[in-house]
Structure 1
C-alpha cells in the first residue's frame, strides 16, 4: 500500500456535518496515532527538503492548518504564519481584498515573491486557498 492510501485510511468522513450535503473530512484519527501522524508530517517535510523547494515560511489556515502547519514549520526550522478571518487575531494583520486578488491574479505574483506552503484545513474552499 502506498503512503497516500495509508493516510486516507485514517481520515473519517462525516456526512451532513456541519450542514446537510457537506462531507466533512475528520483528520482526528491522523492526529491520535503518533505513527500515522509522523508519516503525515514526513510527507510534507520531505517534499521541501531540497534547497530550491524550501519555503520561507509555512502559512496555516485556521484550525487544522494551525495544527499541521506549526509542526511542519518546526520540522523545517522555519517560521509559521497563522491565517484567520479578519478580527480573529489580536495583532496587526494583512487583510487583502480577496475578490481583487482573485480577479487580478495578484495571488500568483505574491506566491512567486513569497514562497509558502499552505497546510490547509480540510474545510477550506478553493477561493480561500487561492487568496491565502
Structure 2
C-alpha cells in the first residue's frame, strides 16, 4: 500500500465533532483514528518514513504536551534516536529551562528538562495538530534557547485557515490539511 492510500485510510478515521469545544468550531480528533490498529500502523509508517527521507541525521524527537507524546517515543524507537517531552510548567522534575507564550485566552509556560538536550542536537518536534501555531512556536523558541537545531515541526493535522504556519520560522510538515 502506498503513502496516499495510507493517508486516505487515516483521514476516514479522523473524528469530526461540530460545535466543540464551542459553537462554530469543527474539532478534528486524532484519538478517534487511533482506536483502529491499521490506522496506528499507517500513521507510524508515514511519520517515520517522512523523517527518514528528510532528516536522516536527526538526534532527538521532541513531543509536545500532551498528544505529541503519543508519537515521539514511537518515532524515536523506530529511528533509533532519543526522545524528550516539552510540558507545561511544573510537570517536570529537576532543572528545567522555560519559555512563556501567548494563547488565545492568556499565556502559559512550556518547560523542558535541561539535561534532555545538548547544544547542537538536531531535533524534530512532533505534535498532533497545528492550529494557531502558538504551542509549536513556543517549542521552537525553547529548543533554540537550549541550543538545539530545529529541523522541522511535524504534525498529523493542520487547520490551514487558522494560519499557524505563518508564525513559524522553521520547516513544517503536516500529513493532513483541513481548509
TM-score by length of 1: 0.74
Structure 2: 5+ residue runs without aligned partners?
103-119, 140-179
CA change 1:36–1:115 in 2 (3 A) is same
2:138 corresponds to 1:131? yes
Matches within 5 A, 1:1-132: 2-50=5-53, 53-98=56-101, 113-122=120-129, 125-132=132-139
Rounded Cα–Cα distance in structure 2 between residues aligned with 1:52 and 1:70: 17
Match in the other structure for 2:166: none
Cα distance per residue 1:67-102 (max 9 Å; x no partner): 111111111121111111122223322213547xxx
Q: What value does the CA root-mean-square deviation take over the aligned residues?
A: 2.4
Structure 1: 5+ residue runs without aligned partners?
100-112
Per the TM alignment, residue 46 of structure 1 is displaced from its structure 2 partner at its CA by: 1.2
Secondary structure of the residue that 2:93 maps to in structure 1?
coil
Rounded Cα–Cα distance in structure 2 between residues aligned with 1:87 and 1:22: 30
Give the count of matched residue pairs: 119
CA contact (8 A) 1:56 1:114 kept: yes
TM-score by length of 2: 0.57
Which of the pair is proportionally richer in helix? 1
Per the TM alignment, residue 39 of structure 1 is displaced from its structure 2 partner at its CA by: 0.6
Per the TM alignment, residue 123 of structure 1 is displaced from its structure 2 partner at its CA by: 6.5
